[in-house]
A and B are shown apart, each in its own frame.
Chain A
Amino acid sequence: MRYVCPVLSPRIVRWKMFIFLCALIFSVAGAFIMPVAQAQETAPDHEIRGTLRVGRDPVPDISVTVFDEAGAEVGTSISDEGGQWQIEITSTGEYTAVIDVATLPEGVGFKEGATNEVVKEVLALDKSSYPVAFKLEDGAAPLIAPVSTATQLANRAVSGLRVGLLVALAAVGLSLIYGVTGLVNFAHSEMVTFGAVTAFGFEALMPSLPFVIPVILGIMSGGLLGFVLERGLFKPLRDRKMNNISLMVVSIGLAFVLRYVIVIYFRAEPVGFKHYLLQTGIDIGPIKIPVKDIVIMSIAFFMLILIATLLQKTRLGTSMRAVSDNPALAESSGIDINKTILAVWVAGSALAAMGGIFLGLTNIIEWQMGEKMLLLIFAAVTLGGLGTAYGAMVGGLAIGFVSEMSTFWLDNDLKFLIALVVLIIILLVRPQGILGVRERLG
């Protein structure tokens, strides 16, 4: 499908397109740079709320921001005439409410021992509101210095690295499967959920054993699911000479079946692993990070290095790359294609399961967790180049990092928009991705 347009030369078209698209994106983005409005009349399902008072007088126009335990912003609220503020939350976890001290009226400070930060643990979403109280006082106490921008950026960067590593773990599998079979597997997101959910189940079954065992069992179940899907569904369908587009639609159907079977037999409410549910962070320079995050990031990083090494050095890795590059040639050189594809499915699913378990450890486990991550995974593999394992790693890190960093300037929920903007720009400028080969596309 070589790109030959009879009317316009490719280079000119691409630049015109690029400028046009930038204009469109900016005009859409412009709509978001409008002031955040006051509270709505209808109450959300769960919220963190509070009333700001000095003595008995309510204090209006103070900006309160709530962060989750990963340090990502959940939302910002400005206190109203009655001193009330509220921010919607959708999951359990440890939240920190922070007053922007710059918005405090002159002479108002905090009582002795109190700061502009209050931590609220939400263990279960059984109430509609979780009150948080700040101890404000007129005069007396000096203001606490706000957290510097550099510190915030550093923390955001670390959490970006963490998300990036997890996205990369999941994306490698999707990209490898695409590489060897040509299938864009929409059910990959369910592999992520499946890993986390089974590990949670194993943890509940054997609460006294060390946490490593349920994790390993969860990863193995992920690999097993990959095995079952390849042998039970996709290999027979490939043998029927079904094309990849039809198989992609089949994988969409499969994703729905898996997702809703998980809701029915797991649960609809989000949960967390019993181990390491709440861990207070340790300070490394300006960065505050829970120990579990350090462990997770190290393991994920080590895994990515390991995969790269295996792909380069082992026979199986070499044959994976060979099949991905040219299946016919690989087969004629004596590589067992079906065995290679099976290995890729098992490894890719196990990696996705691992990503899901780690995501469940740092965030929450819920049936939609994979679905929510799918867009980031797609953006990552497109950025890196569909079908290339190293591309997926680089793309995953980049997408995770960029989308998390964007929460410094934009709302938390707009990070998907950033992932999409990256996706579109890449498709315009270099559609084969950073590490992709040009022939793949056009």
Chain B
Amino acid sequence: MKFELLLAAFDLKDLIGVPLRASVSIPTIVFALGAIGLNLHYGFTGLLNVGMVAFMAAGSYGMAIAFTQGVPGGILVAMVCGLLFSVIIALLIGIPALRLRGDYLAIVTIAIGEVMRVSARSQRLINITGGPFGLPSIEDRGNDVSLSDRIGIDWNPLYDTENPTRSFDVLWTDIFNFDAKALWLMIIGWALVVLMTILVWRLVNSPWGRVIKAIREDEDAARALGKNVFSYKLQSLIIGGVIGAIAGIIRTLDNSFVQSEQFRPQTTFFIWTSLILGGAASKWGPVVGAAIFWFSLQFVEEAVRQLVENDWIPDWLIDSNDIGRIRLIMMGVMLAALMIWRPQGLLGKKEEALLDVR
């Protein structure tokens, strides 16, 4: 009876539907792409990159700035600019820090991520990055096109000029109900996720990949075999960083604005938790991890929201303002608990996940 009473307190359709919907939509794609990049860094090369958000910021801001400053060639060239910017950031991080032991790399990467964010909100760059306000609408004023229109309308085969607010029911339920732009971005995004997963898998199973895995296992041994460890690590950092920049670009296409607060360090740790949950050094781990992680975050958040709204949880314990913060506590608990009890995650192998960079 008690259980039925508790069950009655929940709106089951929302409780399952909202997280399910979240686990296929853009945030999951963004975290999956980020985790694929991080998998190359941490899972295969053993690089402790805790500044993945710096690469996302490089992609987003690089693209947005190039576009608003009217780079010739439009969006595609602007995206390339974003990717190139992330390569520069990878060089900036890698050249000083990759020669050092793992924990130093962690300190430098988190620092560069924060410095990117703080610099982007600097008053001095207000004409370029929009300072603390960001770039609220990404428009090329000279040519009078906006990024959002270009992606969502001009280049969108799903967009119907007769019925611009048309929405799509994927499957039969109204849980998976998306508008034309979101669905179009999701198709592109999931295609990129599959493409990048296959790319990374091909890379790590090539001779190049065997070297980076050797570096992860024993750097000195790889060096003794005549491999230029530094160069391999730098290549891995750049490739993974570019995948991270793609994640940032997808997020910016979805949001249609950039702002420095989108790139707080917690984004990096969402990606980390996704990767560890799915399993580092596995093929589909990052993708599965991102989907399950995002599902469980939304599930807990929705459950707590419903409990608070129905007064099952008293206000002094958690009130409705705190619900958004629960997910960050959840993330912290999951990250620590996974690291302690299941470092290989769901799909990883234990012997590949235990890494001691010392």
Contacts and interface: CB of A to CB of B under 8 A. Distances in A.
B100 to A, nearest CB: 6
A246 interface: yes
B336 A243 contact: no
A32 B332 contact: no
Interface string A2-33: 11111100000000010011001000100111
Contact of A256 (B48, B269, B322): B269
A264 B332 contact: no
A244 B356 contact: yes
Chain A contact residues, majority secondary structure: helix
A143 interface: no
Given A1-B220, A417-B115, A254 B332 contact: yes
B126 interface: yes
Contact of A253 (B97, B124, B332, B356): B332
A213 interface: no
Nearest to A377: B107
Given A379-B111, A414-B119, A32 B125 contact: yes
Interface string A202-242: 00000000000000000000000000000000000100101
Contact of A254 (B106, B121, B125, B336): B336
B25 to A, nearest CB: 24
A21 B95 contact: yes
Interface in A396-440: 411, 413-414, 416-417, 419-420, 423-424, 427-428, 431
A256 B329 contact: yes
A150 B95 CA distance: 39
Contacts, number: 185
A413 B325 contact: no
Give the contact-size bracket for chain B: 35 or more
Contact of A417 (B88, B91, B118): B118
A428 B329 CA distance: 36
Nearest to A233: B336
Interface string A254-283: 111101110110001000000000000000
A105 interface: no
A281 B104 CA distance: 41
A31 B116 CA distance: 13
A184 B111 contact: no
Nearest to B105: A427
Contacts of A4: 223
Contacts of A428: 96
A253 B333 contact: yes
A149 interface: no
A95 interface: no
A420 B111 contact: yes
A228 B354 CA distance: 26
B103 interface: yes
Contacts of B123: 36-37, 75, 411, 413
B334 A253 contact: yes
Interface stretch (B70-78, B130-138, B235-243): B130-138
A432 to B, nearest CB: 10
B308 interface: no
Contacts of B226: 6
22 contacts: A1-B219, A1-B358, A2-B220, A5-B223, A20-B95, A34-B124, A44-B132, A245-B355, A250-B335, A253-B269, A253-B332, A255-B332, A256-B329, A257-B329, A268-B321, A375-B114, A386-B103, A413-B123, A414-B118, A416-B118, A431-B100, A442-B100
User: Top 8 A-B pairs ranked by shortest CB distance?
Assistant: A256-B332, A253-B336, A253-B335, A257-B332, A243-B356, A253-B332, A37-B126, A250-B336
Interface of A: 1-7, 17, 20-21, 24, 28, 31-34, 36-37, 40, 42, 44, 75, 88, 182, 184, 237, 240, 242-246, 248-250, 252-257, 259-261, 263-264, 268, 371, 375, 378-379, 382, 386, 411, 413-414, 416-417, 419-420, 423-424, 427-428, 431, 441-442
